[in-house]
Amino acid sequence: MRIFRLHRSVWFALVVAPPVSAQPIEALWYSTPSEQSTQAFLVHASRISIVSPQVFGFDTVGGIHGSLDARVVTTARARGVKLVPLVMNPGFDQALMHRVLTVSSARTNAIHSLAELCRDQHLDGIQFDIENVHVSDRDAFTSFVRESVDSVHHAGCTLSAAVVPRTSDDPGPTSYHRWIYDNWRGVYDYKALADTLDFMSYMTYAQHTGGSPAGPVGGFPWIKACLDFVLSLGVPPQKISLGIPSYSDYWYPTWEWRNGPRMSGSDISFSKGESLLVQHGQKARWDDTQKAPFAMWENAGVFEHLWLEDARAFAAKRKLVSDYHLRGYSVWVLGLEDARVWR
């Protein structure tokens, strides 16, 4: 309150509201049951808003199986970190998820199981990590999410979903593009999901994978294109948590007796990527368009490729959260990051 004098004998009081502070950016980090991932959470919990362990999965009749590491639960509670584990179709099994979505008894059981999980584990929320669902199940998936939201909210938890991004509703020009659209990208009705979910973790990574040619984990122009598309559909920025990769990718030739010779790609830690550079006497170069460092080298005459996600790449993606006024970011995955991101 401030006191002002208008005249020698006249005073008035003006109540001045405190300045409105910006909504803090929400930092969600995924974890796995690996010791490396668990230890990364225990060390850095004070810098995390939400921890989402990937530990629960549906079965064919809609039951949910899995367990939380007691150390993660204890540390989350002690540090005020929200505990929002993932519930997934294990192995991203398409047939299993089709059954859960379309068989009435399995679907009903799954929705009830989500509420039971929330209550029994005293969770802050649940996040779906349901992937590799065929585009023909799009309406079934959307209605399943709506019914699940009602069930989980009544149990006192939030419900969010990690969703695979896309840049348009055009399946694409090649058989590869059409395959990835039909099986991974096309099932998500982003606007309908955003209208009912508490938020979506928009997984703008895996632009290139072990099943694609070498390229950035999540190139900057592609991430922006994915964001522009989802926002053009009317999804509020406050419902989007930007998916940021902490892992790097390495492509190398291999031979398997079933498939013969082929190029293979692996998700690796940043430290493993640095070790590869040292091993092959290389230095990574910064790609200012993709906002990520990369390297390639000959190994006995055959080229190998490495795209890294270092702290500089992380910062460039993190800045998009502020530029687009998003609710926060979701990082896959604890334990593989460049240690400098915690600065």
Confidence (pLDDT) at 12: 42
Establish if 294 belongs to a structural domain: no
Q: What is the percent of the chain with per-residue pLDDT over 70, rounded to a whole number?
A: 93
Mean pLDDT value across residues 326-333: 98
Mean pLDDT value across residues 32-36: 98
Establish if 233 belongs to a structural domain: yes
Establish if 104 belongs to a structural domain: yes
Establish if 283 belongs to a structural domain: no
Beta bridge partners of 211: none
Q: Are 45 and 81 in contact (CB under 8 A)?
A: yes
Q: Is the pLDDT of residue 228 over 50?
A: yes
* SS3 per residue for the chain: CEEEEEECCEEEEECCCCCCCCCCCEEEEEECCCHHHHHHHHHHHHHCCEEEEEEEEECCCCCEECCCCHHHHHHHHHHCCEECCEEECHHHCHHHHHHHHHCHHHHHHHHHHHHHHHHHHCCCEEEEECCCCCHHHHHHHHHHHHHHHHHHHHCCCEEEEEECCCCCCCCCCCHHHHHHHHHHHCCCCHHHHHHHCCEEEECCCCCCCCCCCCCCCCCHHHHHHHHHHHHHCCCCHHHEEEEEECCEEEEEEEEECCCEEEEEEEEECHHHHHHHHHHCCCCCEEECCCCEEEEEEEECCEEEEEECCCHHHHHHHHHHHHHCCCCEEEEECCCCCCHHHHC
**Sequence-distant (≥ 6) Cβ neighbours of residue 317 within 8 angstroms:** 204, 218, 220, 223, 242, 244, 291, 329
pLDDT digits (tens, 9 = 90+) for 229-261: 999 999 999 999 999 999 999 999 999 889 899
pLDDT digits (tens, 9 = 90+) for 160-213: 999 999 999 999 999 999 999 999 999 999 999 999 999 999 999 999 999 999
Pairing of strands 64-65, 82-83: unpaired
pLDDT band at 15, cuts 50/70/90? very low
Beta bridge partners of 305: 251, 296
Q: Distance between alpha carbon 75 and the CA centroid of its chain, in Å?
A: 22
Confidence (pLDDT) at 22: 57
pLDDT band at 6, cuts 50/70/90? very low
Establish if 241 belongs to a structural domain: yes
**Sequence-distant (≥ 6) Cβ neighbours of residue 35 within 8 angstroms:** none
pLDDT digits (tens, 9 = 90+) for 257-271: 898 999 899 999 999
CATH code of the domain in which 41 resides: 3.20.20.80
Q: Quote the domain boundaries for residue 133.
A: 21-246+310-342
Mean pLDDT value across residues 45-56: 98
pLDDT digits (tens, 9 = 90+) for 137-166: 999 999 999 999 999 999 999 999 999 999
Confidence (pLDDT) at 8: 41
Confidence (pLDDT) at 224: 98
Establish if 266 belongs to a structural domain: no
Return mean pLDDT, the chain: 94
Q: Is the pTM of this model over 0.85?
A: yes
Confidence (pLDDT) at 321: 98
Establish if 157 belongs to a structural domain: yes
Structural domain tally of the chain? 1
pLDDT digits (tens, 9 = 90+) for 265-302: 999 999 999 999 999 999 999 999 999 999 999 999 99
Establish if 214 belongs to a structural domain: yes
